[in-house]
Amino acid sequence: MLGAAIPFYILSFLVLFFAYKTITSPNPIHCALHLAITMINLAFIFFGLNSPFIGGVQLVVYAGAVMVLFVMVLMLFDLKTEVRAFSRGLFSSFLKVASSGFLAGILIVGVLMSTDMLDVTSDSVGVGVKATSSTDIALLLFNQYVFAFEVLGLLLLLVAVGAVAVSRIPGGTHAND
Protein backbone atom coordinates (compact mmCIF):
# COMPACT_ATOMS: atom_id res chain seq x y z
CA MET A 1 0.00 0.00 0.00
CA LEU A 2 2.72 2.35 0.98
CA GLY A 3 4.70 1.20 -2.01
CA ALA A 4 1.83 1.92 -4.31
CA ALA A 5 1.76 5.51 -3.11
CA ILE A 6 5.40 6.16 -3.84
CA PRO A 7 4.79 7.99 -7.15
CA PHE A 8 2.40 10.34 -5.38
CA TYR A 9 4.88 11.09 -2.68
CA ILE A 10 7.63 11.71 -5.16
CA LEU A 11 5.48 14.08 -7.16
CA SER A 12 4.25 15.80 -4.02
CA PHE A 13 7.80 16.31 -2.85
CA LEU A 14 8.75 17.74 -6.22
CA VAL A 15 5.77 20.04 -6.29
CA LEU A 16 6.48 21.43 -2.81
CA PHE A 17 10.22 21.66 -3.43
CA PHE A 18 9.90 23.64 -6.63
CA ALA A 19 7.13 25.75 -5.20
CA TYR A 20 9.51 26.59 -2.38
CA LYS A 21 12.23 27.42 -4.88
CA THR A 22 9.74 29.56 -6.79
CA ILE A 23 9.08 31.82 -3.89
CA THR A 24 12.61 31.97 -2.58
CA SER A 25 14.82 32.31 -5.65
CA PRO A 26 16.30 35.77 -5.81
CA ASN A 27 16.36 35.73 -9.59
CA PRO A 28 12.92 36.13 -11.18
CA ILE A 29 13.96 33.98 -14.15
CA HIS A 30 14.71 31.11 -11.80
CA CYS A 31 11.40 31.70 -10.14
CA ALA A 32 9.64 31.37 -13.44
CA LEU A 33 11.47 28.20 -14.34
CA HIS A 34 10.81 26.63 -10.97
CA LEU A 35 7.18 27.57 -11.32
CA ALA A 36 7.07 25.86 -14.68
CA ILE A 37 8.46 22.68 -13.14
CA THR A 38 5.89 22.91 -10.37
CA MET A 39 3.17 23.16 -13.00
CA ILE A 40 4.43 20.17 -14.88
CA ASN A 41 4.57 18.08 -11.73
CA LEU A 42 1.06 19.16 -10.92
CA ALA A 43 -0.03 18.14 -14.39
CA PHE A 44 1.27 14.66 -13.70
CA ILE A 45 -0.67 14.53 -10.46
CA PHE A 46 -3.73 15.50 -12.46
CA PHE A 47 -3.05 12.66 -14.88
CA GLY A 48 -2.88 10.33 -11.91
CA LEU A 49 -6.19 11.61 -10.71
CA ASN A 50 -7.97 10.34 -13.83
CA SER A 51 -8.12 13.80 -15.33
CA PRO A 52 -6.06 13.62 -18.50
CA PHE A 53 -7.84 16.53 -20.16
CA ILE A 54 -7.18 18.95 -17.34
CA GLY A 55 -3.68 17.64 -17.06
CA GLY A 56 -3.14 18.37 -20.71
CA VAL A 57 -4.58 21.82 -20.41
CA GLN A 58 -2.32 22.40 -17.44
CA LEU A 59 0.67 21.45 -19.51
CA VAL A 60 -0.29 23.45 -22.55
CA VAL A 61 -1.83 26.53 -21.04
CA TYR A 62 0.02 26.91 -17.77
CA ALA A 63 3.37 25.32 -18.24
CA GLY A 64 3.35 26.44 -21.84
CA ALA A 65 1.55 29.67 -22.58
CA VAL A 66 1.38 31.42 -19.23
CA MET A 67 4.92 30.58 -18.27
CA VAL A 68 6.17 31.67 -21.64
CA LEU A 69 4.39 34.93 -21.07
CA PHE A 70 6.14 35.35 -17.75
CA VAL A 71 9.50 34.54 -19.13
CA MET A 72 8.98 36.84 -22.10
CA VAL A 73 8.14 39.76 -19.83
CA LEU A 74 11.10 39.02 -17.61
CA MET A 75 13.38 38.92 -20.59
CA LEU A 76 11.91 42.18 -21.83
CA PHE A 77 12.89 43.86 -18.57
CA ASP A 78 16.28 42.27 -18.45
CA LEU A 79 16.03 41.71 -14.71
CA LYS A 80 19.04 40.72 -12.72
CA THR A 81 19.19 38.86 -9.46
CA GLU A 82 17.50 41.01 -6.89
CA VAL A 83 19.55 42.25 -3.98
CA ARG A 84 16.54 42.44 -1.78
CA ALA A 85 14.01 39.92 -2.97
CA PHE A 86 11.75 40.20 0.07
CA SER A 87 9.75 43.08 1.46
CA ARG A 88 11.15 45.02 4.36
CA GLY A 89 9.92 44.95 7.95
CA LEU A 90 10.97 42.31 10.43
CA PHE A 91 7.80 42.35 12.44
CA SER A 92 5.45 42.29 9.50
CA SER A 93 7.53 39.56 7.84
CA PHE A 94 7.22 37.52 10.97
CA LEU A 95 3.51 38.15 11.04
CA LYS A 96 3.19 37.13 7.40
CA VAL A 97 5.07 33.88 7.82
CA ALA A 98 3.32 33.16 11.08
CA SER A 99 -0.12 33.77 9.72
CA SER A 100 0.62 31.67 6.63
CA GLY A 101 2.03 28.85 8.70
CA PHE A 102 -0.85 29.02 11.08
CA LEU A 103 -3.24 28.95 8.16
CA ALA A 104 -1.53 25.86 6.76
CA GLY A 105 -1.68 24.26 10.16
CA ILE A 106 -5.33 24.85 10.72
CA LEU A 107 -6.13 23.79 7.14
CA ILE A 108 -4.34 20.47 7.70
CA VAL A 109 -6.00 20.05 11.06
CA GLY A 110 -9.31 20.87 9.46
CA VAL A 111 -8.74 18.31 6.70
CA LEU A 112 -7.72 15.64 9.16
CA MET A 113 -10.63 16.43 11.41
CA SER A 114 -13.11 16.20 8.58
CA THR A 115 -11.79 12.97 7.04
CA ASP A 116 -14.63 11.07 8.63
CA MET A 117 -17.20 13.41 7.21
CA LEU A 118 -15.98 12.95 3.64
CA ASP A 119 -17.74 9.89 2.30
CA VAL A 120 -15.34 9.82 -0.61
CA THR A 121 -12.73 7.47 0.69
CA SER A 122 -10.32 5.41 -1.26
CA ASP A 123 -12.63 2.43 -0.97
CA SER A 124 -15.53 4.02 -2.71
CA VAL A 125 -13.71 4.92 -5.87
CA GLY A 126 -15.80 3.13 -8.41
CA VAL A 127 -16.33 5.91 -10.86
CA GLY A 128 -12.82 7.11 -10.81
CA VAL A 129 -11.40 3.91 -12.20
CA LYS A 130 -12.40 4.96 -15.64
CA ALA A 131 -10.51 7.96 -16.84
CA THR A 132 -12.69 10.87 -17.83
CA SER A 133 -12.61 11.49 -21.51
CA SER A 134 -12.52 14.90 -23.06
CA THR A 135 -15.87 14.01 -24.65
CA ASP A 136 -17.58 13.97 -21.29
CA ILE A 137 -16.12 17.34 -20.40
CA ALA A 138 -17.01 18.80 -23.77
CA LEU A 139 -20.59 17.59 -23.43
CA LEU A 140 -20.85 19.23 -20.02
CA LEU A 141 -19.11 22.36 -21.13
CA PHE A 142 -21.17 22.99 -24.21
CA ASN A 143 -24.50 22.03 -22.71
CA GLN A 144 -24.75 22.99 -19.12
CA TYR A 145 -22.01 25.62 -18.96
CA VAL A 146 -22.21 27.07 -22.43
CA PHE A 147 -23.21 30.51 -21.19
CA ALA A 148 -20.34 30.69 -18.74
CA PHE A 149 -18.04 29.47 -21.49
CA GLU A 150 -19.15 32.26 -23.83
CA VAL A 151 -18.81 34.85 -21.09
CA LEU A 152 -15.35 33.60 -20.43
CA GLY A 153 -14.54 34.02 -24.09
CA LEU A 154 -15.74 37.59 -23.91
CA LEU A 155 -13.63 38.12 -20.83
CA LEU A 156 -10.56 36.88 -22.62
CA LEU A 157 -11.23 39.30 -25.45
CA LEU A 158 -11.58 42.13 -23.01
CA VAL A 159 -8.41 41.11 -21.27
CA ALA A 160 -6.53 41.02 -24.53
CA VAL A 161 -7.65 44.54 -25.41
CA GLY A 162 -7.08 45.74 -21.87
CA ALA A 163 -3.61 44.31 -21.57
CA VAL A 164 -2.57 46.05 -24.76
CA ALA A 165 -4.11 49.29 -23.61
CA VAL A 166 -2.44 49.14 -20.21
CA SER A 167 0.99 48.37 -21.58
CA ARG A 168 0.71 51.23 -24.04
CA ILE A 169 0.56 53.81 -21.24
CA PRO A 170 3.05 56.49 -22.30
CA GLY A 171 6.26 56.84 -20.40
CA GLY A 172 9.59 55.19 -19.99
CA THR A 173 11.36 53.82 -23.01
CA HIS A 174 8.26 54.05 -25.17
CA ALA A 175 7.48 57.66 -24.39
CA ASN A 176 7.97 58.66 -27.99
CA ASP A 177 5.25 56.34 -29.33
**Rule CB under 8 A: which of 38-97 touch other proteins?**
38-39, 42, 45-46, 48-51, 53-54, 57-58, 61-62, 65-66, 69-70, 73-74, 76-77, 79, 82, 84-87, 92-93, 95-97
Write the binding mask 97 to 136 for other proteins: x where contact by CB under 8 A, - elsewhere.
x-xxxxxx-xxxxxxxx-x--x-xxx-xxxxxx-xx---x
Q: In Å, how far are 13, 43, 50, 137 from 127, measured between CA atoms?
A: 27, 21, 10, 15
Which position among 20, 75, 146, 150 is part of the footprint of other proteins (CB under 8 A)?
20
Is residue 82 within 8 Å of residue 76, measured between CB atoms?
no
Contacts of 7 (CB under 8 A, 6+ apart): 48
152 contacts other proteins (rule: CB under 8 A)? yes
161 contacts other proteins (rule: CB under 8 A)? no
Contacts of 45 (CB under 8 A, 6+ apart): 8, 11, 12, 15
172 contacts other proteins (rule: CB under 8 A)? yes
